[in-house]
Structure 1
Amino acid sequence: MQSRRPVPDQATRLAALRAFCDSALDDYPELSQYDQFEPDFWDGIDCLRIADDWVRQHPQEGPKALADGFVFPTVWDDLEDRRDQQRYGLQHRLCDAWITAHPDAYSLAQICARLQHMLQFAFEDSDYPLPTDEDGPAYYRRSPDQAWAFPDVPACINRLSNYPPTPAWQTFAEWLLDGSWNREQPPSTPGDEQRKIADAYIYVHKEIQRIALGLLEAGRLDYPRFVRAANTWGRAMMFYCDDTGLDSDDVDLDRYAEEAFDEDDSNDEAPEDEGLDDESSQSDEPPTEEAAAVPPELVNFTVRYVEDALAGLPANAEKLADTFRSVEVYQTRWLLQALAVVERLGMTPDNFLDGFGYTAAVLERFLSLQQLPRNPSAELLAALTGFSRNSLLTALPYAGQASRVVLDALGWSDLQAFQREYLNIALAPQSGWGTDLPNTLDETVGVVDRYLLDKALAEADPDHLREYLAALEPSHWAFPETRVLLDAYQGIGRPALEKKLSRHAQPAMRIYGLLPVTGPDDVRQRYLTLKKLHKEVRKYGAQRQANSHAAVQAGLENLARAAGYPSAIRLEWAMESQIAESALTAATIDGYDITLIIDGLSPTLHICKAAKTLKTAPPAVRKNPDFIALKTQQTQLKEQIARFCRTLEAMMSSGETLALDDLKPLLKMPAVRLLLEQLIVQADDAALGWLDAATLTVTDLEGRQQVAERTLRIAHPFHLFTAGQLSAWQKEVVTHRRVQPFKQAFRELYLLTPAERDTGLWSNRFAGHRLKGKVAARLLQVRNWSTSSVEDIYYESKEHGIYATFNFLDTGHYLSETEHFTFDTIAFYRDQKALPLEQVPPLLFSEIMRDADLLVSVAHTADDYSTSQETLQRRAELVGELVQGLGLQNVKCEGHFLHITGQRANYRIHLGSAAIHIEPGNYLCIVPAGSSSTEFYLPFADTDRKMAEVLSKMFLLLDDMNITDSLILEQIQRGG
């Protein structure tokens, strides 16, 4: 095995440098604070100052020692302990800082020798193995006798590119660019593509370009050398220019070098973090606001190289596919040159991709015209008509902005509108991620503008359309899901589509609504199917569930358009109204009168015979078709009530107003009338009160009635608070023992705090709470938060164009995969800019804070979790109103405690935890029953379980003389 080791003089200098670094760990106070778990530790160390101290102590040999220390790696197994590893980490950083600041001839010679050795012996050097494809360019094959390989090839090239272009530098730079050392890598497995040594170093583009510029300025870069360099370094040698119609969409690969190196790899045997940063990612190039102009000679070399490469295809196509994989073309001449190659090689749509591989990959880039010149039609059309039909069909899916002119050249101008709609559907995601109806949170994907698509299909010649779609079949414009959509739009393939629905395929959910309406019950049947799918996908993980819900919503929007409704919400209201109107509500079976009634908020079957009410129906009646139909209707009514509870609560949370024309169809449904009449509403943005659905009047606290003339809104607690009536409405709800379908009067209300006014752009209200990952992910998902990534936990308010974000600490990539994490801040954004909290609509702010409060109260990990002030306040208000409304004696609410005077003892119950103490301070343990139902009145249906526990304990202790449980009695006797 080849190995490059220091000569005796170098070894002596290195030994002295090691001794200095070892003592420096103790002598320099900033180094004594070394923390291996502090990733930014070295950023605060002035390594150049320490290196200067070394040179002052060793003025003759010190600079050479620092150059030697940079280029000769230390074998990791030779490092005896953690101290030795720290010393080596310091040594490398001192050497790097010095040679970067002092690029002298000796260090240049050492770097060149090191780099030349690594490239010439890339497969034999035990100190520096070549990067492997499997691990990526930042990881290396290692065995116990191998060195920690710094400096590596990218680090040496980086240093070299920043050295003055002396004659010695120029000579080595010529050798590096010419690539005589660039041998083929041995394939990992038989049949692997052949790669060369230089192919492994994709993060050195800027450095190679700086070296090429240095040689050009020295007059030592002619076109033959440029070609050799381009054949070696590929994309790094492409100097594109706007004037030539060539550009690159390549990202700055340097920015990924450090990320690739730091990526976790459980099989990596490298040392933990004592070692070194990937120096290849560091650039000494000062930041500039705009790139310097490219010298004309290099532009001309690049254009000439591109022209020669296209003319020489398919020779060397594999290398060219990588060299040109980021090129963008803006002039029609490149499209025409690529099309000439298609014609010369006899390419067709069927064999383009499968038969020509790398050649096709090169041609794709040059066929894809990024921008059509202002007046191209006549000249470009004339040039295109000179090519064969097969060549034009082959180029069509790759022609970019020129595809419209290609259609004209084929004589298919009638397909212009269809192609536009076809691509609009297939490339619809606003997120920019994925094509062809991808699984996405974007509810617009797959939603069709029926007017435009109808017009496009009417204009298209059927024969042209058939040939067009056939030509696209082998290409990346095939878009199979979009083809299914087009078939469904024309009534084709319904059975296959419904089979996909049974597997919960998301594209099928989006497409299902597009099928033509076949009868009066078809729309309702498909509506119920989509609603059923919305419920069924809850069994999946957070991301799939969220994407599926978006797909269902797109399907409902398509169904609404197909059925002639203006929106999905109007479709929903119409379908629910039809379901209610067509419902079977009563039947007489074998003398039993069975009626479906709504008792409270629950639909129940009332069974009666000879004026006697029965609890259940006899077995014979339960088998009757009419009874089965009533049970089915009962289930549908339950689901309808649940759906409208969610809809009405969402309308309250957003502050949405309903025009009377939209409200009247809703009021045809008994369930909706029932729900609305238990809610406080606001008529015409003014009067607050109870709604009379029959007369559309609103009755306020004083009994005054006002007819709603324009709009109606479900009042949010904020509206009641700003009107100064919140407490009065709470009393009104309890006094008349109303049961609201969800928390309204006693809903938690969150207002800006002084601390939040001070922070301005974010809230720390719930910061520091530790949460359970799976519980939190599930809860956020149910509350319609996007949880696709921990870096993007957000809720979108479409009404206001605002995104609310929850920021968490200590998370993995997905919340559900993180056992515990910490709540950090809450912020709001509009147009990608942070929105001051004072500018957030109060209702949105309150609801987002309510979600956060619910999150930390349900998913918290700490035993000593403290209930929020808002929740405690609402519970105190509720208890106070119940005590007064029910005329309870010996109960009072003070602060966060409920005080009860019993006959056996006095008690206090904490409103947050429901913990009981016997006065003055003995704890009383009472375990709540497992049933979720309550036997006492609460003013809302979505029960606050902790509040129910508080009240159940209150009623138990008020009547403590009737307690029979021996364990409870023993505690009371001992505590009293």
Structure 2
Amino acid sequence: MQSRRPVPEQATRLAALRAFCDRALDDYPELSRHDEFELDFWDGIDFLRIADDWVRQHPQDGPKALADGFVFPTVWDDLEDRRDQQRYGLQYRLCDAWITAHPDAYALEQIGARLQHMLQFAFEDSDYPLPTDEDSPAYYRRSPDQAWAFPDVQACINRLSHYPSTPAWQTFAEWLLDGSWNRVQPPSPPDEEQRKVADAYIYVHKEIQRIALGLLEADRLDYPRFVRAANTWGRAMMFYSDDTGLDSDDVDLNQYADEAFDEGTSDDEAPEDEGIDDESPQSDDIPSEEPVAVHPILASFTVRYVEDALAGLPDNAEKLADTFRLVEVYQSRWLLQALAVIERLGMTPDDFDSFGDTAAVLQCFLLLQDLPRTQSAELRAALSGFSRNTLLTALPYAGQASRVVLDALGWSDLQAFQREYLNMALAPRSGWGSDLPNTPDETVGVVDRYLLDKALAEADPDHLREYLAALEPSHWAFPETRVLLDAYQGIGRPALEKKLTRHAQPAMRIYGVLPVTGPDDVRQRYLTLKKLHKEVRKYGAQRQANSHAAVQAGLENLARVAGYPSAIRLEWAMESEIAESALTAATIDGYDITLVIDGLSPTLHICKAGKTLKSAPPAIRKHADFVALKTQQAQLKEQIARFCRTLEAMMSSGETLALDDLKPLLKMPAVHLLLEQLIVQADDAALGWLDAATLTVTDLEGRQHVAEKNLRIAHPFHLFTAGQLSAWQKEVVNHRRVQPFKQAFRELYLLTPAERDTGLWSNRFAGHRLKGKVAARLLQVRNWSTSSVEDIYYESKEHGIYALFNFLDTGHYLSETEHFTFDTIAFYRDQKAMPLEQVPPLLFSEIMRDADLLVSVAHAADSYSTSNETLQRRTELVGELIQGLGLRNVKCEGHFLHITGQRANYRIHLGSAAIHIEPGNYLCIVPAGSSLTEFYLPFADTDKKMAEVLSKMFLLLDDMNITDSQILEQIQRSG
């Protein structure tokens, strides 16, 4: 077995260097200030200064010792203790700093010898003994990039690439590029591709290019040597330039070197990372380089190599597939050369992919990135020399030339269709993939009917059939988009509806494009999509968000098919139809059943002989009319819930309704009822209650205002700015109104002085610790995007503004993070942070309300305190209820409710609902679940904590009638 060990002279120098490093750990303050080395301990230490001290002490052998110390690594397992590990870590860094700053001939000789040894004996030796017993057959010998301690192959090549171009350097560089050492790695499974030693080193592109340029400048790089180097180092030897029409989207892989090293390191090697950082080529000692122009000779060599490689296909296709994997072509001549290969090999659309690596290479050169229209005619003439099969094979891969390929095939009539086909399939607005991907983007899969109809009208049916058949084996097959096209033409409805039962998201988007088949078809499909929207709530946050977007896209498609201007107008029309066609009463065997809306709940009233029954007798429950009424009751309940959400969203956004849009809505009893319980604003002026029959608004003084143009559901901000918020709260309570959602008592969030000072962000909820799963669920329900913890955002389409919640301590997914910390809130427009003072007040208030809700529901800390805005609304509500109900012996002061009972005096905190018997004894009362709905609240979306406060208030006001022994014992003990 080959082994490279220091000769006696080198061993002597290394022993002295080790002794110096051991002393340095104590003598240099910057090295001795920590007992345990931290991860960033080495940062900021001037290793070159310490190395200079060593050389001054050993002027004769000092420089050689530093070169020896770099190329003869210590076996990690031989290090005895932590001190020994620290000493070796220092030694390696001193040596590296010195040879980088002083690239002398001896260091060049030693680095070259080490590199030559590693490459030549990749499978016979390792300077660091690696375990192989459990990895038979010898895993590390199959992965030479992981087989050595520092410096590894990459580090040695990096140092050499910066050395002066001396004759000795040039000789070694020739050997390195020629690749005579580049043997095939032992395969693992017999069917695995045959990889060579150089294939393991994918992070040395810049270094190999510097070495090649150095040889060229020394006039020692001719084309045959360039070919050998390209066959060895692949992409590293490709010198693409703009004037040759070749480029690459390859990234600087050096930046990932550390990650790759960590992934491949075994548990046995793990300690080594603690002592020595992986030496990436772009170390602090080597300045980063600006991109430079490609040398014209190297560019010409590259072009010649590419031409020869294409002409030589399919030989060596496996190697070329990696070499050209990221090439980009900008001149049509490369497309024509690829077509010539397809023609020569007799490739067809059906068997193109079976050519494996050859096909992969050709795809790169077919994908023309740019084609000025002035060159289209010239390319069209050149394409006429190729067979129909060749053009069909190339069509899906031709990039910007695909339209010219269509012309050459005689299919100019398909230009518009191809554009629409790709627009639908590639979802260019979403950035989430292709072929109707699962995405929160509601525009994916929505069809522009005018353009698609026009494209289909222009397309010759025979051409279209041949075109789609030719794409079938290619990456342009797009099966979901094909289903969409079929559905658009009324094909495949049963199969599509079967997919809906499995909640397939592409099917949800496509379902709306089916042609209308009957008078009730649109309504039934509308109800199906609404049902799907409800059913997918059982899934996780990400799938739920994607599914809701798919349903919305389906509704938008359905609206366009049915002739409505938008999905919201479709919804209103369908809900109106449902209301108008509803069965509201029936008489069955002497029983009179009527569907009425009691409060906000649809209820069946059942009477016989003037007597009201509590429930339906079994005799009528299976009757068709009773079943129809029950179905209508369920639909009406869902309708009320849907319009509650719609109207609340309209209030939150400040949206106005034109009277022409409002009148059809008011035909629905549910909407009629909901709107008459809300404070509205007519024509941006008068605030009051709506009379749906006369379209008049009655203000606080009883004056009536006729709505002439539009109507808006008033936001608390509107009431506040009008100076009427408190008055409307009194009005709601005095008339015992139950609003469908919080309006008069809705939390209002105004800009604080601190937020005016910070300017671009709010710290209002910073520092709160939250539960990940609860927070993710709540955000999703509130229509926040939670697909990435980097971007927790809400999009206001009305304003083109994004609100962002910034969280700390999150994992990859919010729902998988146990706990995280709320940080800041910011707003963006056109990707620029907005000053908070410029954010529309309604949007600001609603975003802050979401944040407050998030903190109050998902908080993880026992010390959580309710926000001032929430406490203020509860204080106002309790105050109005006390006055409105004429309650005595109770008053509200600050954030507490004070109650004078007969047994004791009590106070209840409005935030926590905690009770204390004055002066200070805690009273524990656990509310019963049923008590939360027994007390009047002026809104239907019950504030459970507020209901708990009220239930405790009424209990303690009548404390003489308390019978619970545990409560009585606490009260008596406090006295």
Whether these two folds match at TM > 0.5 is yes
Deviations 1:56-102 (A, max 9, x none): 44444333333333322232222333443333333333332332223
Shift of 1:26: 4.1
Q: CA deviation at 1:113?
A: 1.9
The 1:154/1:953 distance shift into structure 2, 3 A limit, reads: same
Moved more, 575-584 or 700-709: 700-709
**SS of alignment partner, residue 433 of structure 1:** coil
Identity rate, percent: 91
Q: Deviations over 1:729-766 (max 9, x none)?
A: 21221111111111111111122222222222222222
- 1:247 partner SS: strand
CA 265–18 in structure 1, closer or farther in 2 if over 3 Å, else same: closer
Q: C-alpha distance in 2, partners of 1:143/1:382?
A: 50
Which residue of structure 1 aligns with residue 74 of structure 2?
A: 74
Distance 1:490 1:24, change over 3 A: same
Secondary structure, aligned partner of 1:898:
strand
SS of the aligned residue for 1:658 comes to strand
- Residue 895 of structure 1 deviates from its aligned partner by 1.9
Secondary structure of 2:802's aligned partner: strand
Q: Map Cα deviations across residues 621-661 of structure 1 (whole Å, 9 max, x no partner).
A: 21211111111111111111111111111111111111111
Alignment check: 8 A CA contact 1:130 1:140 kept: yes
Mark the CA change 1:759 to 1:51 in structure 2 (over 3 Å): closer, same or farther: farther
Aligned to 1:801: 800
**CA offsets 1:925-963 (integer angstroms, 9 cap, x no match):** 111212374211111111111111111111111111111
- CA 1:144–1:476: 2 relative to 1, 3 Å: closer
User: CA 1:229–1:804 in structure 2 vs 1: closer, same or farther (change >3 Å)?
Assistant: same
Match of 1:120 in 2: 120
| Residues in 1 aligned to 2:932 and 2:101: alpha-carbon distance in whole angstroms | 76
The one-character-per-residue Cα deviations of 1:233-258 (angstroms, maximum 9, x if unpaired) are: 11111111111111112222222223
Contact 1:185 1:194 in 2 (8 A): yes
Deviation of 1:968 after TM superposition, in Å, equals 0.5
Shift of 1:265: 8.8
* Separation of aligned partners in 1, 2:144 and 2:247: 46
Cα distance, 1:273 vs structure 2: 5.2
Structure 1, residues 756-793: CA drift from partner, whole Å, max 9, x if none? 22222222222222211111111111111111121121
CA spacing shift, 1:132–1:408, aligned 2, 3 Å:
farther
User: How far did 1:105 drift?
Assistant: 2.5
Query: Structure 1 residues 740 and 83, CA, compared in 2 at 3 Å: closer, same or farther?
Result: farther
Q: Deviations over 1:470-527 (max 9, x none)?
A: 1111111111111111100000000010111111111111100000000111001101
Q: Which moved more, 1:146-155 or 1:636-645?
A: 146-155
CA 1:107–1:431 in structure 2 vs 1: closer, same or farther (change >3 Å)? farther
* TM-aligned CA distance change 1:244 to 1:841, over 3 Å: same
Match of 2:219 in 1: 219
Residues 339/124 of structure 1: CA separation in 2 closer, same or farther (3 Å cut) = same
Counterpart in the other structure of 1:274: 274
Residue 95 and residue 701 in structure 1: after superposition, are their counterparts in 2 closer, same or farther (change >3 A)? farther
8 Å contact from structure 2 (residues 689, 699) kept in 1: yes
Corresponding pairs, count: 975
Q: What is the Cα deviation at residue 45 of structure 1? A: 3.2
Q: How far, CA to CA, are the matches of 2:136 and 2:691 in structure 1?
A: 70
Deviations 1:883-937 (A, max 9, x none): 1221211222222222111111111111111111111111111112123742111
Q: Can you give the 5+ residue segments of structure 1 that lack an aligned partner in the other structure?
A: none
Q: What's the secondary structure of 2:271's corresponding residue?
A: coil
Partner deviation per Cα, 1:393-429 (whole Å, 9 max, x = no partner): 1111111111111111111111111111111111124
Distance, in Å, in 1 between the alignment partners of 2:896 and 2:272 is 53
The alpha-carbon distance between structure 1 residues 667 and 14, as it changes in their structure 2 partners (threshold 3 A), is farther
Aligned-residue offset at 1:532: 0.8
Q: CA–CA distance in 1 between the matches of 2:669 and 2:10?
A: 94
1:51 positional shift? 3.3
Shift of 1:873: 1.5
Pick which of 427-436 and 593-602 moved more: 427-436
Contact map agreement 1:441 1:547 (CA 8 A) in 2:
yes
Q: Does 681-690 or 476-485 show the bigger shift?
A: 681-690
Give secondary structure in 2 for the equivalent of 1:37: coil
Change over 3 Å in CA distance of 1:948–1:92 after alignment to 2: farther
Compared with structure 1, are the counterparts of its residues 674 and 268 closer, same or farther at alpha carbon in structure 2 (3 Å cutoff)? farther
Using a 3 Å threshold, how does the CA distance of structure 1 residues 483 and 957 change in structure 2: closer, same or farther? same
* Equivalent pair of 2:559/2:565 in contact (CA under 8 Å): yes
Change (3 A) 1:29 1:758: farther
Aligned Cα root-mean-square deviation (Å) = 2.8
Residue by residue over 1:841-882, the C-alpha shift from the partner in whole angstroms, topping out at 9 and shown as x without a partner, is: 221122111111111211111112111121111111111111
CA 1:679 to 1:45, structure 2 compared with 1: closer, same or farther past 3 Å?
Answer: farther
Evaluate the alpha carbon distance shift between residue 90 and residue 878 of structure 1 in structure 2; reply closer, same or farther with a 3 A threshold: farther
Contact 2:644 2:674 in 1 (8 A): yes
Say if 1:344 and 1:727 are closer, same or farther in 2 by CA, change over 3 A: same
Say if 1:898 and 1:908, in contact at 8 Å, map to a contact too: yes
Structure 2 unmatched runs, 5+: none
Q: Is the 8 A contact 2:123 2:142 kept in 1?
A: no
**Normalising by structure 1, what TM-score?**
0.96
Equivalent pair of 1:75/1:147 in contact (CA under 8 Å)? no
Provide closer, same or farther for how the CA distance between residues 147 and 307 of structure 1 changes in structure 2, counting only shifts above 3 A. closer
Distance (whole Å) between structure 2 residues aligned to residue 131 and residue 390 of structure 1: 54
CA contact 1:66–1:99 (8 Å) conserved in 2: yes
- For the 8 Å contact 2:513–2:561, the answer to whether it is kept is yes
Higher mean displacement: 340-349 or 888-897: 888-897
How far apart, in 1, do the equivalents of 2:136 and 2:398 lie? 33
Aligned CA distance change for structure 1 residues 220 and 567 (closer, same or farther; 3 Å): same
The question of whether the paired residues in 2 share the 8 Å contact of 1:595 and 1:605 is answered with yes
**Please, which moves more after superposition, 865-874 or 632-641?**
865-874
Q: How far off is 1:128 after superposition?
A: 5.7
In the TM superposition, what is the alpha-carbon distance from 1:38 to its structure 2 partner? 5.8
CA distance in 1, matches of 2:895, 2:264: 48
Aligned counterparts of 2:163 and 2:139: Cα–Cα separation in 1: 27
How far 1:454 sits from its partner (Å)? 0.9
When structure 1 is superposed on structure 2, of 138-147 and 112-121 the one drifting more is: 138-147
Deviation at 1:358, TM superposition (A): 0.8
Query: Could you say if the C-alpha distance between residues 859 and 712 of structure 1 is closer, same or farther in structure 2, counting changes exceeding 3 Å?
Result: same
Q: Any idea what SS the aligned residue of 2:711 has?
A: strand
Q: Cα deviation per residue 1:455-484 (whole Å; 9 max; x = unaligned)? A: 111111111111111111111111111111
1:687: which partner in 2?
686
Summarize the alignment of residues 700-719 of structure 1 with structure 2, pairs less than 5 Å apart. 700-719=699-718
Distance 1:264 1:922 in 2: 63
After TM superposition, the structure 1 stretch with the greater mean CA deviation from structure 2, 172-181 or 757-766, is: 757-766
Which SS does the other structure have where 1:892 is aligned? strand
Q: 1:375 to 1:705 in 2, by over 3 A?
A: same
How far apart are residue 138 of structure 1 and its match?
Answer: 18
Q: Is the 8 A contact 1:137 1:201 kept in 2?
A: no
2:135, 2:211 → 1: CA distance? 28
Bigger drift between 192-201 and 14-23 goes to 14-23
| CA shift for structure 1 position 156 | 1.6
Structure 1 residue matching 2:272: 3-state secondary structure: coil
CA contact (8 A) 1:810 1:822 kept: yes
Between the aligned partners of 1:139 and 1:799, the Cα distance in structure 2 is 59
- Identify which range, 281-290 or 659-668, moves more after superposition: 281-290
SS for the counterpart of 1:932 is helix
Note the C-alpha offset of 1:134.
Answer: 16
How high is the TM-score relative to the length of structure 2? 0.96
Change (3 A) 1:461 1:113: same
Q: Which residue matches 1:4?
A: 4
Q: Counterparts of 1:609 and 1:42 in 2: how far apart (Å)? A: 90
Alpha-carbon deviation of 1:52? Answer: 3.5
Q: Does the C-alpha gap of structure 1 residues 132 and 665 become closer, same or farther in structure 2, counting only changes over 3 Å?
A: farther
Q: Find the aligned partners of 1:137 and 1:270 in 2 and give their Cα distance.
A: 22
Could you tell me whether the CA contact under 8 Å between 2:126 and 2:148 is conserved in 1? no
1:638–1:233 distance in 2 versus 1, CA, 3 Å: same
Residue 174 of structure 1, CA deviation:
1.2
Q: Distance in 1 between matches of 2:259 and 2:570?
A: 49
Name the SS for the 1:702 alignment partner: coil
